[in-house]
């Protein structure tokens, strides 16, 4: 039996109750599927639990010999995700990210190892994507309100763009500090935090003796090991232009010991004058990127698949494919005309169900 994860819900933005309930419904279906798939094994079984953290529904599925061992490991992983969420919350005044933003242009902020590593990885992705992914987009992303369908004015965007430059992030590993060089700069780690949290949750599971499972944090999925029957996990990639439940899944892909993340223009968006405005903003223009409608990236770490899927979405298919080749990542890009671009290494592992 196949286990299909729907990576994103196209109708409701993360954080909305309708979005969370829809993901919880999918997670319940997932739990039924994985339980049925485990029946062939008398020793190991599949256990799954879903919680709402980081403004989204998170499902952790593990293969274990006992329910007690599975729950202990899963609860440990959830605590790790919750910790990272609190440290990196862009909107919480008590987070380390908010403190960095408050001290922009004034002084560096001593941060935890997790936040330091998170920022370092973000800067690395910025360098590799030529700034297409840039966590300093906060001075512009904070101007949008996708729930209330509010667009910022041109002057406000132009002013915010002056503060967008990942090169103005200064990291001092010797004292574990992060400093934003310009007053008013804001780092928004939303494009990497969920992937990073999935990676850290996996570390917790392995420490508890779990050798196989899946962490699903919204559109960022980290799989390790295999199903009890030894086969890879099957992950469903969302059809970015699904019109019904029947064509909800664009493709399924086999995954073992890897991560996959999908960025799409259907996650948080609204229409104004027949134009789709979505949350993936181009750091050069401050407006939604328009070259792609969906990008799925496969690599070893979910932090990188999360951030690179955003960066490549902004870059577009031609430059994006070059970056994937350079990084030796696999990926599927759906461009703004609905054409599909794939890396050669993904061919034998993906099965298309519907065309966007």
d(CA 202, CA 15): 23
Specify the residue for token string 């004292």: 175
Q: Are strands 269-272 and 275-278 parallel, antiparallel or unpaired?
A: antiparallel
Specify the residue for token string 């990210």: 97
* CATH number of the structural domain 96-191: 1.10.3980.10
Q: What is the pLDDT of residue 332?
A: 96
Encode pLDDT of 108-153 as tens digits: 999 999 999 999 999 999 999 999 999 999 999 999 988 888 899 9
User: Taking a C-beta distance cutoff of 8 angstroms, is the pair 286, 158 a contact?
Assistant: yes
| Average pLDDT over the chain, rounded to an integer | 88
Q: What is the pLDDT of residue 1?
A: 28
35: left (phi over 0), alpha (psi -120 to 50) or beta: alpha
> Considering the chain, what percentage of its residues have pLDDT values greater than 90?
76
User: Taking a C-beta distance cutoff of 8 angstroms, is the pair 72, 47 a contact?
Assistant: no
Which range among 21-35, 66-80, 119-133, 337-351 shows the weakest confidence by mean pLDDT?
21-35
Contacts of 275 (CB under 8 A, 6+ apart): none
What's the number of CA atoms in the CB half-sphere (13 Å) around residue 110? 2
d(CA 169, CA 249): 39
d(CA 289, CA 114): 29
Cβ atoms within 10 Å of 290's Cβ, excluding its own: 17
Q: Tell me where in the chain the CATH 1.10.3980.10 domain(s) lie.
A: 96-191
d(CA 352, CA 348): 11
Distance of alpha carbon 328 from the chain centroid: 19
Structure tokens at 130: 């030529």
Q: pLDDT band at residue 41, thresholds of 50, 70 and 90?
A: very low
pTM confidence score? 0.87
d(CA 80, CA 96): 16
Q: Is the pLDDT of residue 254 over 60?
A: yes
Instruction: Strand 292-299: give its sheet, edge to edge.
Output: 45-53, 56-64, 213-217, 220-224, 258-264, 292-299, 330-335, 340-342
Give the closest residue to 4 by CA, choosing from 223, 191, 195.
223
Structure tokens at 98: 């908010």
Contacts of 132 (CB under 8 A, 6+ apart): 126, 282, 283, 311, 312, 314, 315, 319
Q: Is the pLDDT of residue 193 over 50?
A: yes
CATH superfamily, region 17-86+192-352: ApbE-like domains (3.10.520.10)
**Torsion angle defined by CA atoms of residues 12, 18, 23 and 29, in that order, rounded to the nearest 10 degrees:** -130
58 in helix, strand or coil? Answer: strand
Q: Tell me where in the chain the CATH 3.10.520.10 domain(s) lie.
A: 17-86+192-352
d(CA 292, CA 315): 9
Q: pLDDT band at residue 308, thresholds of 50, 70 and 90?
A: very high
Structure tokens at 215: 């962490």
Q: What is the pLDDT of residue 36?
A: 35
User: Taking a C-beta distance cutoff of 8 angstroms, is the pair 295, 214 a contact?
Assistant: no
Give the closest residue to 7 by CA, choosing from 18, 29, 23.
23
Q: pLDDT band at residue 201, thresholds of 50, 70 and 90?
A: very high
């Amino acid at each position: 039996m196949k286990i299909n994860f729907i990576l994103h819900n196209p109708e409701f933005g993360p954080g909305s109750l309708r979005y969370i309930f829809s993901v919880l419904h999918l997670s319940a279906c997932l739990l039924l599927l994985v339980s049925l798939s485990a029946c062939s094994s008398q020793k190991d079984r599949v256990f799954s639990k879903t919680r709402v953290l980081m403004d989204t529904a998170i499902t952790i599925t593990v293969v274990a010999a006992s329910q007690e061992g599975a729950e202990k490991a899963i609860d440990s992983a959830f605590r790790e995700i919750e910790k990272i969420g609190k440290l990196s919350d862009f909107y919480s005044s008590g987070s380390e990210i908010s403190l960095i933003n408050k001290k922009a242009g004034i002084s560096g902020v001593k941060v935890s190892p997790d936040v330091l590593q998170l920022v370092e990885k973000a800067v690395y992705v910025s360098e590799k994507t030529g700034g297409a992914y840039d966590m300093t987009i906060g001075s512009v992303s904070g101007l949008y309100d996708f729930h209330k369908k509010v667009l910022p004015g041109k002057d406000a965007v132009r002013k915010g763009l002056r503060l967008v430059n990942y090169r103005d992030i200064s990291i001092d590993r010797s004292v574990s500090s992060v400093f934003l060089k310009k007053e008013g700069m804001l780092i928004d780690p939303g494009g990497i935090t969920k992937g990073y949290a999935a990676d850290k949750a996996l570390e917790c599971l392995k420490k508890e003796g779990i050798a196989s499972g899946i962490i699903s944090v919204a559109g960022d999925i980290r799989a390790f090991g295999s199903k009890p029957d030894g086969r890879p996990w099957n992950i469903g990639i969302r059809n970015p232009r699904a019109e019904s439940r029947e064509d909800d899944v664009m493709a399924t892909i086999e995954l073992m010991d890897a991560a996959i993340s999908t960025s799409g223009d259907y996650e948080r968006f609204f229409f104004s004058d027949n134009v789709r405005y979505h949350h993936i903003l181009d750091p050069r223009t401050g407006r939604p990127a328009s070259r792609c409608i969906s990008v799925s990236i496969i690599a070893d770490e979910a932090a990188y698949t999360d951030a690179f899927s955003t960066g490549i979405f902004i870059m577009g298919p031609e430059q994006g494919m070059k970056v994937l080749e350079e990084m030796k990542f696999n990926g599927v890009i759906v461009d703004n005309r609905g054409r599909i671009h794939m890396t050669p290494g993904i061919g034998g592992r993906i099965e298309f169900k519907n065309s966007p």
